[in-house]
């Protein structure tokens, strides 16, 4: 115990003697807080998904759809968005604009197909409305994705303008 105490005095004294004999350090470091990005990502994703869902719902409003169609679409997007980001990781050898274009094109194809399947299999058979064709589903997916992609920069600007 005694030894430990002496060692601590020693270190204290030595460090002070060394530092003070060269110069007095009066540093006052400033911490630069980093802005958290989670709320921003959450805002952008939510807005983009809701916009896309809104567009798809609007375009397919006169077609046969399941109950809670909006929830089906949201669930689908919760899978396709991470998949899209993962795909970008695979394509990051390409120029960014081309990689995003390919990624978006694949998302449109896959989402169109999934929407078609949802409308075919999950909808009520009693509905008098006609089931949407696969082309219509792809068109809806294309319009929905185009809307959300086009408004992404706008949403980003809005968030940056109004974020604290």
Partner 1 sequence: MNRSNTCAIILVASLVVLTGVALMISAREPHYGGRSLTSWLRQCSDTPLSESQRLEEAQNAIRAMPLDQVIPRLVRLVESAEDPVSPWIKDTSGKLKLDFLRWRLADERQQLGVAGFETLGTNAAPAAGALAKLLSDPKHAFVAVRCLAAVGKPAESALCQGLTNQDWRVRNWAVPALAEVTDDVEVYIARLKGRLTDSDAAVRFSTVQAIGAQENAPELAVPLLIDKLQDGDDGVASQAANALSSFGTNAMIAFPALTNLVHTGRQAQSRAAMKAIAAIAPAEAVPVLSSIITNGNAANLSAALRSLKSIAPELALQMAIAQLRSIEPRRRSQAVGVLGTYDMDTPRIGDALRSAATDPDAEVSRHASMTMKQMLRKQNENTGRDVQFHDEPSYDGKTLGEWLKMRHDGWELTTTAAAALRHMGTNAIPPLLARLAYKEPVFGLYDFDVSMEAVAGLLAMREQVKPALPVLATLMKSDDQDLAVRAMMATLGTEADAIPYVMLGLTNRFPDVRNEAASLLAGEWGARFPEQRKQVAPFLVKLLNDPDQHVRMNATNKLKELDPQAVIKAGIK
Cα of 122 vs its chain's centroid, Å? 27
Sign of the Cα pseudo-torsion (130, 136, 137, 140, in order): negative
* Residue of 67, 71, 92, 150 interacting with partner 1 (CB under 8 A): 92
Residue closer to partner 1, measured from CB, 32 or 37: 37
- Distance from C-alpha of 96 to C-alpha of 90, rounded to nearest angstrom: 12
Cα gap 63→58, rounded to integer Å: 10
Question: Which residues between 16 and 55 bind partner 1 (CB under 8 A)?
Answer: 16-18, 20-21, 24, 26, 37, 40-41, 44
Which 140-159 positions form the footprint of partner 1 (CB under 8 A)? 153, 156
Question: At its nearest, how many Å lie between partner 1 and the CB of residue 110?
Answer: 6
97 scored as a contact of partner 1 (CB under 8 A): yes
Q: Does 125 bind partner 1 (CB under 8 A)?
A: no
Give me the phi and psi of 71, to 5 degrees please. -65, -40
Using CB under 8 A as the binding rule, whether residue 162 contacts partner 1 is answered as no
Torsion over CA: 4, 5, 8, 13 (sign): negative
Residue 30: helix, strand or coil by DSSP? coil
Among 71, 75, 79, 109, the residue binding partner 1 under the rule CB under 8 A is 109
Secondary element (H or E) of residue 161: helix 134-162
Count residues contacting partner 1 (CB under 8 A)? 45
Helix or strand or coil: residue 82? helix
Contacting residues toward partner 1, per CB under 8 A: 5-7, 9-14, 16-18, 20-21, 24, 26, 37, 40-41, 44, 85, 88-97, 99-100, 102, 106, 109-110, 113, 116-117, 120-121, 134, 153, 156
């Amino acid at each position: 115990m005694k030894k430990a105490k002496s060692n601590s005095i020693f270190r204290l004294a030595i460090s002070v003697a060394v530092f003070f004999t060269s110069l007095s350090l009066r540093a006052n470091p400033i911490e630069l807080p980093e802005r958290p990005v989670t709320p921003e990502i959450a805002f952008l994703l939510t807005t983009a998904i809701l916009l896309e869902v809104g567009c798809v719902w609007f375009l397919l409003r006169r077609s046969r759809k399941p109950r809670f169609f909006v929830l089906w679409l949201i669930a689908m997007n919760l899978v396709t968005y991470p998949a899209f980001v993962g795909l970008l990781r695979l394509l990051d050898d390409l120029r960014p604009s081309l990689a995003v274009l390919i990624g978006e094109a694949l998302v449109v194809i896959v989402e169109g197909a999934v929407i078609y399947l949802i409308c075919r299999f999950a909808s009520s058979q009693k509905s008098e409305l006609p089931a949407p064709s696969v082309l219509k589903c792809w068109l809806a997916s294309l319009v929905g994705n185009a809307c959300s992609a086009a408004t992404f920069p706008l949403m980003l600007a809005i968030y940056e303008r109004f974020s604290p």
